[in-house]
Amino acid sequence: MKTSLIMLAAVAGSAGLTFGQARAQDAGPPLPPPPASQAPGAPTTAAPSAEALTGRAARAEERINAGVESGALTPAEAHRALEELANIRTQSTELATRDGGLNDTDRQFINDRLSQLHRGISWLKNNEAYSW
């Protein structure tokens, strides 16, 4: 095996190639760059409107209250989820007043926090063995 590698290196060296060049030639043509919409750091979807965020927050509150009424959430779990929702609403208001309104980045950030809250509510409702 060692002799084979030495002979391969000698052949590649005599042809004026390094191992990296030989590999790059075998890989085919380079791939084109991704479109701007798929570039690293580019948002994958448009940020939701402020009205959509308000609706998502209202639905989260309804889900929490319905979870308490049905017994799927304990009062302590509901309290903690409602506190998180209040924190999200406060942060949304602070971001809006700081910049004179929510920009795309702010709306996406708030949307991500609401998504995390919705996942947490679903998890709590469906995992009776664990609770806050």
Any idea where the domains of the chain sit in the sequence?
Answer: 50-126
Average confidence (pLDDT) over 63-79: 94
Phi, psi angle pair for 10, to nearest 5°: -65, -40
Helix 19-26 and helix 2-14, axial crossing angle in degrees, nearest 10: 80
Look up residue 98 and give its amino acid: R
Q: How far apart are CA 104 and CA 72, in angstroms?
A: 35
- Per-residue pLDDT of 78-107, as tens digits, reads 999 999 999 999 999 999 999 889 999 999
- Per-residue pLDDT of 17-51, as tens digits, reads 444 444 445 555 666 666 655 555 555 568 899 89
Residue 123 has pLDDT above 80, yes or no: yes
Q: Could you count the other beta carbons within 10 Å of the beta carbon of residue 54?
A: 13
